[in-house]
Structures are given as structure tokens and as C-alpha cells.
Structure 1
Amino acid sequence: MSTTATTTRSTRGSICSATSWVRLDAWHQPQDLWGTVPSTHETFRLIAEVPNSSDPARYRPTLPPNTHRSHRPDAGTL
């Protein structure tokens, strides 16, 4: 799993903001995605923490990634 994090600064008029981005190639997704409140799941809390803190290093998950297609053998079947 690789995680790419960058911080960019942009100025529009007199407003200056820092935005941090995290690109996740794999992450831990809850089994019941629709029944999970984002604030109760580690992955979503960590993803929200990055732009909130402007620190990409804050994304340090403890749960193993499970989004590779091998974890979902029925994906794509109707």
C-alpha cells in the first residue's frame, strides 16, 4: 500500500489557505459501508484529520487495508 500526501498553498484575492491531500491506493473500508457513520470509523476520521490539521503525516492507520479486489470476490457481478 502506498500513500501519497502533499500540501499545497493557493491564494485567491486576500484569502490564503493551505490544503493537504492524501491519495490512498488501499484503505480499510467497513464491511457495512452504508450502515457505518463516518465519524465512528478510523479510516474516515483519519482522512478528515489531514486537511483539518494540514499535516499529511497524521494519516497513520492501524487497520489493515481491505479494498483490493481479492477481498471482494463477488465485486462486479450482477
Structure 2
Amino acid sequence: MAAPLKMLCITALRQTARPFSSTCAVHAGKKWRLENGLAWTGSEYGPLTDLPDWSYADGRPAPPLKGQIRRQKQREDFA
């Protein structure tokens, strides 16, 4: 009697075990951002992506990064 129960449990575990996925976290807040007129990913534009990460102590701006240059060129091409 114990053997069929053990087989039943093992079979149930095999059928319910699923690989872990975190794709839902990627789109967290997407609906709210779209409703409020923001980018759907939260990292397409804004101060965290458009402004430099650092500046020199004397106030000079940092040289633009590759991603900043790429986004600026995309915006110029779009305009």
C-alpha cells in the first residue's frame, strides 16, 4: 500500500515541477507607466538614462557614454 502512494506522490511532483521564471518582474508596472504617458519599460528615457552618471569635481560634465550617444542619434534620426 505504501508503494502506490509513493509512486503517486512522485508522479504528482514530476507533473507540478516547473522551471523558475522571472519574466513577470520585467514588466512590473508596465500598465501604470503606459496609463501615465511614460515609457513602457521604465528605462527607455528619463534622467537615469539621459543624464551622465558622474561629473568632474570642477563641474565639467563627463564624456557621454556609448549608450547615451546611441540614444541621442536615434532621437535625431527620428526627428
User: Which TM bucket (shorter chain)?
Assistant: under 0.3
Greater relative CO, 1 or 2 (CA 8 Å, sep 6+): 1
TM-score normalised to the size of structure 2?
0.26
More helix by share: 2
